Amino acid sequence: MSAADQGTARADGPRRRAVSPDRRTRQPTEVRRRLILEAAVPLVLEHGVSGVGLRDIARAAGVSVGTVTYHFGGIGEIIGEAVSIEIDAYYRPLGERMLSAPSAVEGLDVLVTGVFNTETDQHWRLWFESWAADAVRAPDTLQRRRYEDWSDRIAELVERGRSSGEFLCDDVAETTVRFSALVDGLALRRLRGAPPLSIDRARAHLRRFLASELGLASTP
């Protein structure tokens, strides 16, 4: 093909033009933020908080580092918000199920099976990674509030059982604190695997504690 023919082909064929910035399709801010947060979670699970950088998150989210820094102040903010989202997804439905159970005793069973099952190891790993990061930066207020809200749901269940006569409990607040501490300790023991702790054994520890703490004739 001659130079003239090539020129004619270029003239007759479709032309690609750069799209001006004001006409480009842009995702809403909340969508971009969510993409970044969702990309961060598996990276933290695989590499830990200390092993993940802004470039890693940007690459996983399919955005530029500039986009990440535009929406977030740093890696600490990303991890904090990602964990808060995960906490909501984990605890909100569990709280609804246990509080809507026909009785408080049945609610306890929902609680025990909900905090330790085949899907919760990821939750605990992410949460402990976040706690480790909090040791070197200011604690995340949003995350702390969600944890407190979860404790309130447990206290609500215990108070329901006490009011109905199903439980014997002198101090609902203290029982809630001890239960939460036991759950956290067992979760850490399970993740460390030294020595190994199965899901069934973790549940059994919780049931024995609740039976003793709440004056139950049998474990929930």
* Residues constituting the chain: 220
Q: Please report the pLDDT score of residue 12 as a whole number.
A: 46
Q: How confident is the model at residue 189 (pLDDT cuts 50, 70, 90)?
A: very high
- 140 shares its domain with 206: yes
Does 87 score more than 80 pLDDT?
no
Residue of higher predicted confidence among 133 and 109: 109
Q: Please report the pLDDT score of residue 107 as a whole number.
A: 98
Q: How far is CA 195 from the centre of its chain?
A: 25
Residue 44: both structure tokens together: 């933290």
Taking CA atoms, 97 is separated from 11, 40, 100, 162, in Å, by 67, 29, 5, 19
Question: Is residue 112 in some structural domain?
Answer: yes
- 188 shares its domain with 100: yes
Among 73, 96, 131, residue at a domain's last position: 73
- 92 shares its domain with 40: no
- 203 shares its domain with 168: yes
Does 2 score more than 70 pLDDT?
no
Taking CA atoms, 167 is separated from 12, 101, 153, 199, in Å, by 84, 15, 16, 25
- 68 shares its domain with 98: no
Tally of CB atoms within 10 A around 43: 21
Q: Please report the pLDDT score of residue 100 as a whole number.
A: 97
Q: How confident is the model at residue 140 (pLDDT cuts 50, 70, 90)?
A: low
What is the distance between the alpha carbons of residues 143 and 177, in angstroms, rounded to a whole number? Answer: 17
* Range 31-39 average pLDDT: 90
Residue of higher predicted confidence among 6 and 98: 98
Question: Would the CA dihedral through 115, 213, 209, 191 be positive or negative?
Answer: positive
- Report pTM: 0.74
What is the domain-level CATH number for residue 58? 1.10.10.60
- 93 shares its domain with 58: no
Query: What share of the chain has pLDDT > 70, as a percent?
Result: 82
The boundaries of the domain holding residue 191 are 83-213
Q: How confident is the model at residue 211 (pLDDT cuts 50, 70, 90)?
A: very high
Does 8 score more than 90 pLDDT?
no
